């Protein structure tokens, strides 16, 4: 697939969680799109799919996966891809994304986003799997940078260099999780700004924002708190680099009232507008 550049802006959204189904369906949310976990809707029929169809009648929907296992040396599960393709055909999603990680050996799925060593061998495996996924899905895939808690002695390149090479070889695009950049940088003593500046800016199509928690020794990407001030500052730096792209907030635990998340999303809107205005003034 050929690469794209200058991605169209698609607005501000939330991860759709069951606590907010009714309010979203009643049109009470200031949202441009919602994102759902793909695997929760990959069974044909049933109440979840029925709700998703109703939501899709009102809003664009992004599909975000957690089990494609694009780093699997066993290759991708073709039954999984066929079920995801059926969901894609029905929903016509805004984006289809998954993580730079692996989770499966044979028929065993760990249901965790496990880390990869950033080597040339891993690059070949990841690129072959993304090529297959994009062929089956008939669309470009967005790959998300993971939160990281370990590093491999075998690493031959940085994570941002690895992601850039994946984009170059497969034509895929990036889902930039700014909180994950912050968590990984803190855990590994890296420069988060250098990470952002090392990514191919024209391939970033969507941004995730979330909260994290302090573990005993490491920051943990828990998605159970509001976005912190340091991540908001990093988000502003990211938008200055890549321009405004579709941005959303993820909350998967300690789910607050919808209005609280919408207020938080307004912070992202304000930052996006401020950076866009500054870019226009600089270009005038």
Give tens-digit pLDDT for 189-235: 999 999 999 999 999 999 999 999 999 999 999 999 999 999 999 99
Phi, psi of 178 (to 5 degrees): -70, -35
CA dist 273 and 44 (Å) reads 40
Predicted TM-score (pTM) of this structure = 0.95
CB neighbours of 137 closer than 8 A, spacing ≥ 6? 81, 84, 85, 88, 96
Residue 283 has what pLDDT? Answer: 83
Residue 108 has what pLDDT? Answer: 83
User: Among candidates 76, 66, 58, which has minimal Cα distance to 125?
Assistant: 76
CA dist 201 and 121 (Å) reads 25
Phi, psi of 77 (to 5 degrees): -80, 110
Q: Is a pLDDT exceeding 60 seen at residue 83?
A: yes
Longest dimension (CA), the chain: 57
Average pLDDT value over all residues in the chain: 94
């Amino acid at each position: 697939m050929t690469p794209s550049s200058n991605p169209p802006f698609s607005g501000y959204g939330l991860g759709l969680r069951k606590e907010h189904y009714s309010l979203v369906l009643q049109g009470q949310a200031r949202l441009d799109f919602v994102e759902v976990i793909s695997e929760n809707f990959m069974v044909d029929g049933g109440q979840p799919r029925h709700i998703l169809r109703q939501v899709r009648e009102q809003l664009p929907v992004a599909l975000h996966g957690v089990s494609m296992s694009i780093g699997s040396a066993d290759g991708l599960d073709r039954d999984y891809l066929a079920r995801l393709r059926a969901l894609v055909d029905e929903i016509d999603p805004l984006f289809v994304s998954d993580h730079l990680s692996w989770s499966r050996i044979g028929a065993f799925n760990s249901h965790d986003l496990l880390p990869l060593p950033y080597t040339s061998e891993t690059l070949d495996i990841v690129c072959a799997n993304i090529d297959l996924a994009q062929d089956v899905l008939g669309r470009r895939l967005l790959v998300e940078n993971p939160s990281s808690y370990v590093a491999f002695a075998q690493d031959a390149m940085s994570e941002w260099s690895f992601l850039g090479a994946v984009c170059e070889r497969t034509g895929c695009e990036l889902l930039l999780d700014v909180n994950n950049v912050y968590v990984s940088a803190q855990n590994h003593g890296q420069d988060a700004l250098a990470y952002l500046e090392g990514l191919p800016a024209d391939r970033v199509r969507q941004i995730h924002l979330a909260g994290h928690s302090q573990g005993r020794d490491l920051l943990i990407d828990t998605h159970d708190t509001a976005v912190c001030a340091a991540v908001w500052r990093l988000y502003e730096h990211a938008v200055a680099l890549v321009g405004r792209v579709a941005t959303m907030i993820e909350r998967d635990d300690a789910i607050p009232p919808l209005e609280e998340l919408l207020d938080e999303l307004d912070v992202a809107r304000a930052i996006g507008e401020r950076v866009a205005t500054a870019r226009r003034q600089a270009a005038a």
